[in-house]
Structure formats: structure tokens, C-alpha cells
Structure 1
Amino acid sequence: MNIAVEHIATDQPPDEAKARDLDYGWQSGNQVELLENGEAYFPRVFDAMRAAQREILLETFILFEDKVGHELQGILIEAAQRGVKVVVSLDGFGCGELSAVFLAALADAGVMVQMFDPASKTLGIRTNWFRRLHRKIVVVDAEVAFIGGINFSADHLGDFGPEAKQDYSVQVTGPAVADLHHFALAQSGRQVRTRRGWRRRQQRPSPWATDSGEGLVRLIYRDNLQHRDDIEEAYIYALSQAKKRAVIANAYFFPGYRLLREIRNAARRGVQVQLIMQGQPDVLLAKLAARMLYDYLLKDGVVIHEYCQRPLHGKVALVDDDWSTVGSSNLDPLSLALNLEANVLIRDRAFNQQLYDSLETLSKNHCQVIPAKHKPRLWLWRLTVGFLVFHVMRHFPALTGWLPAHKPRLKPFESQAHD
């Protein structure tokens, strides 16, 4: 059996790439619902796909051939067979272990499968480590959208065991779905038609909406063109406006100095700043890197919790009573300087309270508080190593910037099966 999966390559002409480089403004009148973990997320997404009549657009970093992946595969095949246009965009690193049989079943049913930056192994090791397609977006019939940090894998379900991930996504309905739909179409390389109600924004919208109305949603994303810093800037601006509280729950926390300074400055002026980090990490380096920043933040009143029940995979934050963000972007060099990411900003009091209640339950019942006078064992050695690692990580994006940036281009799709 041979299968040629449509590839997103790295040599897109600059003018074509810029044509997809869009700013999306704030949209009012949306309904946003928090979906916590796979138990809430998968049934909602799968039900929407089963009810699809025209189109399913899916982007994900990870798709595994487990019970979740096989259920998704069956739903997509059934949708394609009844005439729904199905486009699936997968990351070549996160989905690099998918079998040709699994992909061929999708392709043969009419699903348009795309792989971002696929690379064969060299001496048994994958080499496509950097600049990943890390977004997790689903749009169904341009009427309902899902965005967040949850991949299509069984390790987002509690019955997976101690390594099951704690994570968040949102379901969006309303005018903002048009922007998510337009973005997903453009990034997948499909022809995009300008629709009534959508327009290209000539000036970049503020990360903080002018009015604090209900149901305000804005899509923001990170690419390697004109939107390299949009997600980081949104965090920085929101923290600079904070007056009451700020809660950040992030799996991989090692931001640059500007964001660290804004977190510290918010705490200094009396904002209740709380960080929720990994206590049981799926990547040990993530925990070590985050702990190197603790002293800098603790001394100015930032409260740090480590979630210890299972690996934290969330990428969410809230400021005051009505600003929130949910998406795929961690606060580390990979997400902030290399990967392709997408978040939504939300101005809505009910959603903000829902997210706050969820994170408050997490911090009170399943976290340990890092004491303000935190001084770990072998602290001098850790300080020395921390200094070196901090500066290596600080310059890491610039060093990897020498690598070719991904400028997506689609190659012709082919799928052939031989007996």
C-alpha cells in the first residue's frame, strides 16, 4: 500500500504567505463554553462532527491511533462518505507515528489529509523538532468552533491513568466562528472567499477590547511572518491593565523577560497574581525551567502553585473579572517564538467566572503552594545552572531562527492503494 499525504512544505512564495497574514478583531454576541479535559471535549466535538452537513476543518498537533483516534477516524470517514468536505491538518512531528493504513483509510474515504513538515527519521530519530503546527482547532459547518490545548489522544481522559493530562478548550458559537472558519481555511490552503461580515483588518486590534461587553471574542495567532509576538503581547497588555487579580495556568512556563517583568509588576502594585505550574510534569525539563524563575516572582508577592495530581497541559489565563484567554500556546520559547499557535481572547464575565472557579478548585484541592522563602536543596548549584539555562533559553529562539521558517505551501494530494 502506498499513500501520498498532502504536505505543507516550507517554500511558500512570500506574497502568497502574506496574503494569509490576517488580523482578526473583536466580535460581539458570542457564546463561549469552557470544556475541561477530554471527558467534556471529545463528546461535544464528536457530536458536532456527526451532525455536520457541509464541512469539517480540523487542525491538531497530536492524533494517536488509540480509542480516541479511532473514534475520530470513524466519524470523519462517515462524514466524508455522506458528502461532507473534511480537511484534516496534522503536524509532522506530533503525528509522525501514524501508520500508512490509518491515513489511507481517511484518504480513501475522501478526507483531505495534510501533514505539516513531515520528516523521515535519521538513525531512528526524528529531526523536525522545531516550528511545529501546534494549533488545535475544529470548525464545523462554519457554525461552531472548538479551540484550545486538547489533542486527539486518550491521554486526555481520566481513565488513561496517572499520566492523564489536565487541559482546557472552549466551544464558540456566534459571529467569531466566521473568523475561526476563515483562518482555518486560509491556513489549510483552501480557497478563501471574502464573506459578508468578514473583512481584513488594516490595523491590528488591541488585545483589550474598548468595551467590556459580554460575549466578546477575538482570535489571535502566532506565525513566522507578521504575527510573531501577538500572543505574548496580548498577555503583556492584559497584565499591564490588571487591577484586581490575574491567574495563569500554563504547562510549560519559561517566558521572556518582558512578560516576567509584567507579572512581577502586577503583583507589586497589589494585583493578586497566581501561577499554576506543573508539579507532575510529562517533560521534566519543563518543571526545572519553571522553577528557575520562582525566586524572581515569589519575592514580589506572586503566588505559585504546582499541580500535583497529574500532568498539567493547560494554556489558559484570566485577568480581573472579564478577560480570559484559552488556546494552544504555552509560555515558553517553543510556543512564543517558533511554533504555529492560536488562542482566543474572551471578554465575558460569566466565562471568566467559570474559568476562575475551575482553576480555584484545582489550586485548592490538587496543588501545593511554593513557600515565599523558597530555597531548594543545593540552591547555589541550582542558581548557577539556572543562570546558564536561563540565558541559553533566552537566546534559543534567535539561534533556531537560523533554521528555515515554515511558509506553508500545499503539494498535490494523491492517495493510491495497491493489492
Structure 2
Amino acid sequence: MRRVIKRASLSVLVLYLVYVLTAGVFSYAFVPGGGGSPDESLAQAAFLAQGEGPDRAVLVETPHDAFSRRIELIRSADDTLDFCCHTAKAGETVDCLFGEIYLAAERGVKVRILFDAKVGGMSGPRADIPLAMAAHPNIEYREFNPLNPLTPWKWNVVLHDKFLIADGDVAMLGGRNIGDEYFDPPGYSSPVTNDRDVMVLRTGPGDSVIDELTAYMNTLFNHPDTRAVTVPERRRDAAQRRAQQLLDTLAHWRGEYPEYFIPATDALTASVATAKISLISNPVTTDKKEPSLARAAYSALLTGTDVRIQSPYCTANSRTLSALETLSQRGEVRILTNSTASSPNPPAYSNYVTQREKFVATGTRLFEYQSENSIHGKSALVDDRLSIVGSFNLDDRSMFIDTESALVIDSPAFNRLLSAEFDALFHQCAEVGADNRYLPGSAEIQVPWTKRLLMWIVSLFSRPFHFLI
């Protein structure tokens, strides 16, 4: 009997593994599709406008700005506050942000918080933060797409958006998660992850992109695969202790580093006028997606002939290469991404580094950031008018799997600000040639052989599964 039970159990396990591999892995190898290039005239009608629109924009570039602008936005909320984020990394700046959100709830602001359920970072030392938040009567805390062993086709899908909205009048959206590596606080000495956000202020009458972003938050927050965090009675005391710890950490930091909480200038003074800001996003589903955001972004890129793209991760799928080739035939295309030295993500980078020549073969000029710090911003510039800032990477995962969002900004003034940041980053890069090596004269920094070996070893496993990276 034991032998029969053992064989039956093994058979069930094998069948389950086959089910998982088929539904959760191999099904993603065949991406949804639909061809045809976007129509250029439709792209112009969608993203360009005349005159001055209702929204002004602030470029949020430095780590200090990223933290202090978030504090500024949270403190500005009088009625409602939405916070959507992919993941929280290590550091007391995370506690400070949640402490500020808790204080907002204490003064009567209705708060909604949404994190990814699988990689949201709310485990280990941060496991009680969701409880501390959810225990407050003015805070709803939810998690997107929790793991279900019976639906492996949903396992790969994660919430990758990062944005905040206050009172429907101020919003911030970009590529930044939260954590000390993104905010470089006083006393921090580890590698910095350089990122980018845009802050939007509604300052005039008319249809604001903030309304679109609020509607998008509603869709995410109320999705059938979003789960509310509740606080069991036995965890109430732990939740209260954690809330008090957040407030204590915040009070300490505000007392010790008051200037770190204050932007160099207020948001309105730092803002520039825009003609129009458009929200583009992927479908909110928990399975394979039509590449809606990629198509919209491609339409925006087609409005010009000088295209610059920054993405921390790139994969050489056929659709991306075809789009780059078309853009390169129309004008100059430059891509800025991480190098072996700067990349902190071996699976994503190792999948890319062995295929760099495919990008160069499209006519695209490829530049890699040379630093021990990394770049994580996801942006594009089109001529001297359009800018795109969001959460979208130039990879299969952002194209077909994750939830993603970005803002397309019609503003020569904002474009100039972002262009200056691009120029500064390009000056810290080495250009990749057709032979998959840096061009002569490029300022390549030395990389430990152990990291190069790691990238090569990981590439052996990452290449066959590029469609999940």
C-alpha cells in the first residue's frame, strides 16, 4: 500500500510540474501579437497639442529630490492619497515614507496603498508594515496578484507601476521603487540606483492626466486579483507597535536631517508648462498581455527623427529590433543602458550582453553606463518636444507580462530639462560597436573577473527564458 501511495504521489507531483511548466513558463514563449506599424498622423493627434494645458510638470531626477518630493506630495494631501508601488527595498527611508503616510491618515486623509503581492518587499523586517497601515481606519492596503498554486499562468505577472496621487491635483510617476538605494540618504555608502520620476501639478481648467491616472489606480485597486490586507485580532498589538516604530523613526530623521525632507524649491516654482500630458499603460490583467504601452510609445517615437531611449534592461526580441530598425532608417536612435560594471541584475543583464550586436545591427547607437552605481530610469526623448517617463523597460517582461504605465509629455521646456540629464549620462558611457565590443577611445571602467564570470554563467540559463525577463 505504501508503494502504491508513493507512486501515486509521485505521479501527481510530475503531472503538477508539467502543468506548471506548460501554463506558467512555456505559454509565455508565444507572445500575443498583432502587427502593423502605428500611423504617424494618429500618433501626432494623440500626443501633441497647441497652447498651454492644465498640467505643469516637474522633473524629479536626484535621489534627494526623489525623497523630498514624495514627502512634499504626501504632506500636500488634504482629502485623498493613493500610493502604488512595485517593491520596497531596505532602509529607514522606507519607514519614514510610511510614517508620513500614517500621519496623513491621522489628519483625516483617506489613503489607498497597493503593492505587488509576490515581490513587493513586504516580508522579513518589513512584514508588519502592511498590518500597521491596514489597522488604521483611514487606510486601505491591498496586494496585487497573490500567489495561487492552481493558477501558474498568473505567477509571472507583477505590478510594476510606481506612482502617487494627492487629492486628484498632484501626482508623481516614474521608475523608482522605494528604499535607501534610490534615495541616497545621509550616511548611506552603498551603490546608488539612479532613477527618474515626473511630478504633475493640475494648475488650470481642462482635462488633466491626473484624472486618467486616478481611474487607472481604481482599476488596479479593484481588480479581481487584488487582495485586501486585513489585521487579525491577535496581530493588533504588533500592528500598533510597528506603527509607533514608523513614527519614531520618522521623528528621529526629521530631527536629525530636517533639510533632507525639504526640496530645494517648491514644486510649483520648479514646474514647467506643458501642452498635453498623456497616460499610456498596459492592460490590467494577470496573464499575457497585448503590448499596448509599447505600441503607444512607438507611435510617440515616430513623431520625430532624433530619438534617445534610456532603459536599465533590454532584450532583443524581434518586435523591438524591428521597431528600432524602422526608427533608425528615419533618423538617429541612441539607447542608454547599464554596463557589466553598473548592472545589479545578473539575469536581465546577462540575457542582454550576449545580444548587443543585434541592437547595433538595427542602426541604433548603443551606449552603456560606466559606474559602480546603476541607472534605473525608463525614459525617452523625441526631437526637442516630446518626452516619455514611466516604469516601462525595453524588455519582454514590460512589453507582454507586467502592469506598466508611463507619461508622454508634450513640452519643449520639459524636454530641455530631461535632455540635459541625458547628456550628462551619455558622457559617462562607452559606445558598443558592431563586433559587440566597445569602440576605441571609450572610457570603460574595470570590472572584477568574478562579476564577468557570474554574468556569463547566468546567461546560460537566462537566454532560453528571455521571454520571462
For Structure 1 versus Structure 2, the TM-score category normalised by the shorter chain is 0.7 to 0.9
Report how far residue 320 of structure 1 moved.
1.2
Q: What corresponds to 2:295 in structure 1?
A: 233
Which stretch has the larger CA shift, 367-376 or 280-289? 367-376
1:287-302 matches, cutoff 5 A? 287-302=349-364
Instruction: Report how far residue 254 of structure 1 moved.
Output: 1.0
1:265 match = 326
Counterpart Cα distance in 1 of 2:346 and 2:127: 32
1:369 aligns with 2:442: no
CA–CA distance in 1 between the matches of 2:409 and 2:317?
24
The answer (yes or no) to whether the contact 2:387–2:408 under 8 Å persists in 1 is yes
Q: Report the residue type matching 1:246 in the other structure.
A: V
**How many aligned residue pairs are there?**
337
In structure 1, the partner of 2:226 is none
Structure 1 residues 387 and 114, CA gap change in structure 2 (3 angstroms):
closer
Residues 1:71 and 2:115 aligned together: no
Calculate percent identity across the aligned residue pairs: 23
Relative to its length, the structure with more helix (as a share) is 2
Residue of structure 1 aligned with 2:145, choices 98, 112, 117: 117
Query: In structure 2, what residue type is equivalent to 1:285?
Result: P
Taking structure 1 as reference, are residues 300 and 137 closer, same or farther at Cα in structure 2, changes over 3 Å only?
closer
User: 2:136 is aligned with what amino acid?
Assistant: A
Counterpart CA distance in 2 for 1:119 and 1:41 is 31
Task: State the secondary structure of the residue aligned to 1:259.
Answer: helix
Distance 2:58 2:413 in 1: 10
Q: Of the two structures, which has the highest relative contact order with CA contacts closer than 8 Å and spacing of 6 or more?
A: 1
Partner of 2:376: 313
Asked if structure 1 preserves the Cα contact closer than 8 Å seen for 2:88 and 2:122, the reply is no
Q: One-letter code of the match for 2:298?
A: I
SS where residue 329 of structure 1 aligns? coil
Give the Cα–Cα distance (whole angstroms) in 2 for the partners of residues 386 and 128 of structure 1. Answer: 25
Change (3 A) 1:255 1:112: farther
CA distance in structure 1 between the aligned counterparts of 2:409 and 2:57, rounded to whole angstroms: 8
- CA shift, 1:30, in A, is 1.8
Question: Quick one: distance in 2 between partners of 1:214 and 1:56?
Answer: 24
How does 1:173-212 map onto structure 2 within 5 Å? 173-174=201-202, 175-189=208-222
Tell me the SS of whatever aligns to 1:340: coil
Structure 1 residues 259 and 240, CA, compared in 2 at 3 Å: closer, same or farther? farther
1:351 aligns with 2:421: no
Letter in 2 for 1:109: H
Matches of 1:248 and 1:33, distance apart in 2: 19
Residues 348, 462 of structure 2: 8 Å contact kept: no
Q: In the alignment, does 2:159 pair up with 1:133?
A: yes
AA matched with 1:263: L
Q: Give the secondary structure class of the aligned counterpart of 1:305.
A: strand
Q: Secondary structure at the match of 1:241?
A: coil
Q: 1:332 aligns with which of 395, 420, 426?
A: 395
Counterparts of 1:387 and 1:241 in 2: how far apart (Å)? Answer: 39
Q: CA RMSD in A?
A: 3.1
Match runs of 1:373-392 below 5 Å: 373-375=435-437, 392=465
Letter in 2 for 1:180: L
- Cα displacement (A) at 1:164: 1.3
Q: Does 1:222 align with 2:282?
A: yes
Letter paired with 1:183: Y
Deviates more, 1:78-87 or 1:177-186: 177-186
Find the aligned partners of 1:153 and 1:387 in 2 and give their Cα distance: 31
Deviations 1:180-209 (A, max 9, x none): 12222332129xxxxxxxxxxxxxxxxxxx
User: CA distance change for structure 1 residues 284 and 76 in 2, over 3 Å: closer, same or farther?
Assistant: same
What residue in structure 1 maps to residue 170 of structure 2? 144
Q: Does 1:80 align with 2:102?
A: no
> Residues of 2 paired with 1:182 and 1:42: CA distance?
25
The answer (yes or no) to whether the contact 1:250–1:277 under 8 Å persists in 2 is yes
Distance 1:33 1:120, change over 3 A: same
User: SS at 1:306's partner residue?
Assistant: strand
Structure 2: give runs of 5+ residues left out of the alignment.
1-45, 203-207, 224-272, 439-454
Letter of the structure 1 residue corresponding to residue 198 of structure 2: V
Alpha-carbon offset, residue 115 of structure 1: 1.3
Q: 1:90 to 1:389 in 2, by over 3 A?
A: closer
What stretches of structure 1 move > 6 A for 4+ residues in a row? 385-389
CA distance 1:337–1:227, change in 2 (3 Å) = closer
Task: Measure the CA separation in 1 of the matches of 2:410 and 2:108.
Answer: 37
Q: Distance in 2 between matches of 1:363 and 1:133?
A: 30
Q: Report how far residue 375 of structure 1 moved.
A: 4.8
Alignment of 1:160-171 (within 5 A): 160-171=188-199
Q: Which has the larger radius of gyration?
A: 2
Q: Which stretch of the first structure deviates more once superposed, 294-303 or 86-95?
A: 294-303
- Please tell me whether the aligned partners of residues 305 and 368 of structure 1 are also in contact (alpha carbons under 8 angstroms): yes
Per-residue deviation, 1:150: 0.8
Provide closer, same or farther for how the CA distance between residues 314 and 129 of structure 1 changes in structure 2, counting only shifts above 3 A: farther
Residue pair 2:386, 2:410 contacting (<8 A) in 1 also: yes
Is the 1:235–1:259 Cα contact (8 Å) retained in structure 2? no
2:309 alignment partner in structure 1? 248
